[in-house]
Structure 1
């Protein structure tokens, strides 16, 4: 907490009422008071944590899935990943999701980056792992998850972001973290 002019800069929550509570999200309205005394209602969405993986091969290509996102009404490249089951280890979830969605089993996983996608409205911890290599296990990817699987050259990632074919927060955070590691010579 920081203090300026004798006032704390912390918002006060006077209450929160649930609007909808489903398997994958809780939508509520919070009664919020700003440090200057202004009060308003803020929508809050609480979503289970998610984990994903940037699988990088020896040729500096990233394993991605091509899928349609109906809310944005567009086809996009995304890193494989998904919601954690209750009490599931994030790294185990991330590895499971890669295999289910792509048919590849990630190897040599390590933490890459963690983020909140919309910290002012959504409470959802996300973590992205880096896997150096993967083994094809021959399982058929779920048709509901991806139309196709692709190994995208890391050198093409910025262009995919510029043309709008990579727009998801998790994919963007993970791929930008990879580009930083590459620029610092740590890949």
Structure 2
């Protein structure tokens, strides 16, 4: 018996510039059908830099939806016609005031693949130039260089909560040998 769920049809029940909510008719492996809501999302690009002291540039922000605070990477929706790397660079500059050096792709994650098709593309650089106060300073309370060696403890304490930041920072922790 196959364990593949088949999306037979799908129609939009709500749409805005950031996402679509679709209702899918899904056939289960045993032949039964169920209605399943699906969020269709635009790609998201994230970026950070790691300095010579093995610190990552992070933002400390509040998320009103979950009423929680945490360290995150600068992130945002990829604009039409924009490359993933350009979007990551733009978001880091807008949200932190630091322009990253050459970016390298770190990973791509599917933060909620049981409900949404959103892909989060994470980039990092080993250099950054301070340009000035961030254009989007309303998005965070602080922008700081955080030691990568502290990442496991920050994750354990719940100070890094978003799945994309947890995955990216733990991978950077591993890769840098922090």
Q: TM-score range by the shorter chain?
A: over 0.9
Match of 2:157 in 1: 163
Quote the Cα distance in structure 1 between the aligned partners of 2:142 and 2:22: 36
Q: TM-score, normalised by structure 1?
A: 0.90
Residue 34, structure 1, aligned to residue 28, structure 2: yes
Match of 1:18 in 2: 12
RMSD (CA atoms) = 1.4
Match of 2:103 in 1: 109
Residue 154, structure 1, aligned to residue 155, structure 2: no
Quote the Cα distance in structure 2 between the aligned partners of 1:79 and 1:154: 13
Structure 1: which 5+ residue stretches go unaligned? 1-6
**Greater Cα radius of gyration, structure 1 or 2:** 1
Match of 1:51 in 2: 45
In the alignment, is the contact (CA less than 8 A) between 1:78 and 1:171 conserved in 2?
yes
The 1:112/1:140 distance shift into structure 2, 3 A limit, reads closer
3-state DSSP of counterpart to 1:124: coil
In the alignment, is the contact (CA less than 8 A) between 1:54 and 1:175 conserved in 2?
no
Residue 176, structure 1, aligned to residue 170, structure 2: yes
Q: TM-score, normalised by structure 2?
A: 0.94
Structure 2: which 5+ residue stretches go unaligned? none
**Superposition deviation, residue 143 in structure 1:** 2.9
Aligned pair count? 178
